[in-house]
Chain A
Amino acid sequence: MWSLILRRLLVAIPTIFLVMVFVFILQRMLPGDPLLVMAGEERDPAVLEELRKLYGFDRSVPVQFLYWLREIASGNFGSSLRTGAPVTELIGQTLPVTIQLAVASLIIALLIGIPTGVLAAVKKGTWLDYVANAISLSGLSIPNFWLGIILILFVSVNLRWLPASGFVSVFDDPAEAFRTTIMPAFVLGSGLAATLMRHTRSAMLEVLRLDYVRTARAKGLLEPAVVLKHALRNALVPIVTLSTLLFGQLLAGAVLTEQVFTIPGFGKLIVDAVFNRDYGVVQGVVLCTAIAFILMNLVADVLYIVINPRLRTA
Chain B
Amino acid sequence: MPTLARLTRGLPALAVAALFALPASAAEIRIGLQEDPDILDPHEARTFVGRIVFNALCDKLIDTNEKLEFVPRLATSWTVSDEGKTLTFKLRAGVKFHDGTPFDAAAVKANMERAKDLKTSRRKSEIASIASVEVVDPLTVAFKLSKPDAPLLAQLSDRAGMMLSPASFDKPVGPKPICSGPYTFVERVQNDRIVLERFADHWEKDKYHFDKVTFRTIPDSTVRLANLRSGQLDMLERLAASDVKSAKGDKSLKVDSVVGLGYQGISVNINNGARADTPLGKDKRVRQALSLSIDREALTQVVFEGLFEPTGQPFPSTSPYYDKSFPAPKRDVAKAKALLKEAGVEKFSFEMQVANSPVDQQVAQVIQAMASEAGIDIKLRSSEFATMLKSQTAGDFQATRVGWSGRVDPDGNLHQFVTTGGGINDTKYSNPAVDKELNASRVVYETAARKAHFDAAGKILREDLPIIYLYLPAWIWASSAKLDGFVPNPDGMIRLANVKLK
Q: Interface on A for B, CB 8 Å cutoff? A: 31-33, 36-47, 50-51, 54, 80, 82-85, 90, 93-94, 100, 103-104, 107, 149, 152-153, 156-157, 160-167, 170-171, 174-176, 178-179, 182, 259-260, 262-264, 268-269, 272, 275-277
Whether B25 sits at the interface, judged by CB under 8 Å, is: no
Q: Which residue of B37, B232, B386, B404 is within 8 Å of A41 (Cβ)?
A: B404
Known contacts A41-B46, A85-B175; A166/B232 CB under 8 A: yes
Q: Give A94 to B36 CA distance when docked, in angstroms.
A: 15
Known contacts A164-B223, A272-B191; A179/B18 CB under 8 A: yes
Known contacts A107-B4, A178-B10; A262/B190 CB under 8 A: no
Chain B residues numbered 21-46 whose CB sits less than 8 Å from any CB in chain A: 21-22, 36-41, 44, 46
Known contacts A40-B47, A83-B39, A178-B10; A264/B189 CB under 8 A: yes
Whether B325 sits at the interface, judged by CB under 8 Å, is: no
Query: Could you list 25 A-B pairs, sorted by A, with CB under 8 Å?
Result: A36-B390, A37-B385, A39-B122, A44-B424, A46-B125, A47-B125, A83-B40, A84-B172, A100-B3, A156-B229, A157-B229, A157-B230, A160-B21, A161-B19, A165-B216, A165-B232, A170-B7, A174-B7, A175-B14, A260-B220, A264-B191, A268-B191, A272-B191, A276-B386, A277-B386
Whether B245 sits at the interface, judged by CB under 8 Å, is: no
A264:B390 contact, CB within 8 angstroms:
no
Chain A residues with CB below 8 A from B18, complex form: 161-162, 175, 178-179, 182
Known: A37-B386, A156-B229, A161-B18. 19 other contacts (CB 8 A): A31-B387, A33-B386, A33-B389, A37-B389, A38-B46, A44-B423, A82-B39, A83-B39, A83-B174, A83-B190, A85-B190, A161-B21, A165-B218, A174-B14, A178-B10, A179-B18, A272-B36, A276-B386, A277-B386
Q: Which residue of B40, B41, B232, B387 is within 8 Å of A32 (Cβ)?
A: B387
Whether B450 sits at the interface, judged by CB under 8 Å, is: no
A43:B424 contact, CB within 8 angstroms:
yes
Chain A residue at smallest Cβ distance from B47: A40
B36:A103 contact, CB within 8 angstroms:
no
Known contacts A157-B229, A165-B232; A264/B190 CB under 8 A: yes
Chain B residue at smallest Cβ distance from A90: B190
A107:B46 contact, CB within 8 angstroms:
no
B7:A103 contact, CB within 8 angstroms:
yes
Chain B residues with CB below 8 A from A166, complex form: 216, 232
How many contacts A-B (CB < 8 Å)? 172
B4:A164 contact, CB within 8 angstroms:
no
Chain B residues with CB below 8 A from A38, complex form: 38, 46
**What size tier do the contact residues of chain B reach?**
35 or more
Chain A residues with CB below 8 A from B119, complex form: 50, 54
Q: Which residue of A33, A45, A275 is within 8 Å of B423 (Cβ)?
A: A45
B217:A262 contact, CB within 8 angstroms:
yes
Chain B residue at smallest Cβ distance from A40: B46
B226:A36 contact, CB within 8 angstroms:
no
Chain B residues with CB below 8 A from A276, complex form: 386
Chain A residues with CB below 8 A from B120, complex form: 51, 54
Most buried by A among B4, B230, B232: B230
Whether B202 sits at the interface, judged by CB under 8 Å, is: no
Chain B residue at smallest Cβ distance from A281: B190
A42:B191 contact, CB within 8 angstroms:
no
Known contacts A42-B122, A43-B423, A164-B227; A262/B218 CB under 8 A: yes
Chain B residue at smallest Cβ distance from A264: B192
A269:B223 contact, CB within 8 angstroms:
no
Q: Give A259 to B227 CA distance when docked, in angstroms.
A: 13
B386:A275 contact, CB within 8 angstroms:
yes
Whether B79 sits at the interface, judged by CB under 8 Å, is: no
Q: Give A277 to B10 CA distance when docked, in angstroms.
A: 42
Q: Give A7 to B129 CA distance when docked, in angstroms.
A: 65
Most buried by A among B18, B172, B193, B391: B18
Whether B81 sits at the interface, judged by CB under 8 Å, is: no
Q: Give A269 to B393 CA distance when docked, in angstroms.
A: 28
B6:A170 contact, CB within 8 angstroms:
yes
B232:A164 contact, CB within 8 angstroms:
yes
B4:A178 contact, CB within 8 angstroms:
no
Chain B residues numbered 467-481 whose CB sits less than 8 Å from any CB in chain A: none
Chain B residues with CB below 8 A from A164, complex form: 223, 226-227, 229-230, 232
Q: Give A36 to B423 CA distance when docked, in angstroms.
A: 13
Q: Give A178 to B217 CA distance when docked, in angstroms.
A: 22
A32:B191 contact, CB within 8 angstroms:
no
Chain A residue at smallest Cβ distance from B386: A32
Chain B residue at smallest Cβ distance from A43: B424
Chain B residues numbered 373-427 whose CB sits less than 8 Å from any CB in chain A: 383-387, 389-391, 393, 404-405, 423-424
Chain B residues with CB below 8 A from A33, complex form: 386, 389-390
Known contacts A32-B389, A179-B18; A156/B230 CB under 8 A: yes
Chain A residues with CB below 8 A from B227, complex form: 156, 164-165, 262
Q: Give A104 to B47 CA distance when docked, in angstroms.
A: 35
Chain A residues with CB below 8 A from B38, complex form: 38, 82-83
Chain A residues with CB below 8 A from B189, complex form: 93, 264
Q: Give A46 to B122 CA distance when docked, in angstroms.
A: 11
Measured CB to CB, the closest approach of chain B to A42, in angstroms, equals 5
Q: Give A175 to B18 CA distance when docked, in angstroms.
A: 7
A152:B423 contact, CB within 8 angstroms:
no
Most buried by B among A36, A162, A170, A262: A262
Measured CB to CB, the closest approach of chain A to B51, in angstroms, equals 11
Q: Give A162 to B275 CA distance when docked, in angstroms.
A: 54
Chain B residues numbered 203-256 whose CB sits less than 8 Å from any CB in chain A: 216-220, 222-223, 226-227, 229-232
Chain B residues with CB below 8 A from A277, complex form: 386
Binary A-proximity of B122-141 (CB < 8 A = 1, otherwise 0): 10110000000000000000
A36:B389 contact, CB within 8 angstroms:
yes
Q: Give A264 to B1 CA distance when docked, in angstroms.
A: 23
Q: Give A176 to B37 CA distance when docked, in angstroms.
A: 26
Chain B residue at smallest Cβ distance from A178: B14
Q: Give A93 to B191 CA distance when docked, in angstroms.
A: 11
A44:B125 contact, CB within 8 angstroms:
yes
Chain B residue at smallest Cβ distance from A37: B386
Measured CB to CB, the closest approach of chain A to B331, in angstroms, equals 30
Q: Give A47 to B118 CA distance when docked, in angstroms.
A: 11
Chain B residue at smallest Cβ distance from A34: B386
Q: Give A179 to B17 CA distance when docked, in angstroms.
A: 8
Chain B residues with CB below 8 A from A269, complex form: 190-191
A152:B230 contact, CB within 8 angstroms:
yes
Chain A residues with CB below 8 A from B423, complex form: 43-46
Chain A residues with CB below 8 A from B424, complex form: 41, 43-44
Q: Give A152 to B223 CA distance when docked, in angstroms.
A: 8
Chain B residue at smallest Cβ distance from A84: B174
Measured CB to CB, the closest approach of chain A to B142, in angstroms, equals 27
Known contacts A165-B223, A165-B227; A36/B3 CB under 8 A: no
A42:B46 contact, CB within 8 angstroms:
yes
B222:A149 contact, CB within 8 angstroms:
yes
Across chains A and B, which 9 residue pairs bring their CB atoms closest together, nearest first? A264-B192, A32-B386, A156-B230, A178-B14, A164-B230, A31-B387, A84-B174, A44-B423, A175-B17
A31:B14 contact, CB within 8 angstroms:
no
Chain A residues with CB below 8 A from B15, complex form: 178
Most buried by A among B40, B190, B423, B424: B190
Q: Give A159 to B252 CA distance when docked, in angstroms.
A: 15
Chain A residue at smallest Cβ distance from B218: A262
A107:B7 contact, CB within 8 angstroms:
yes
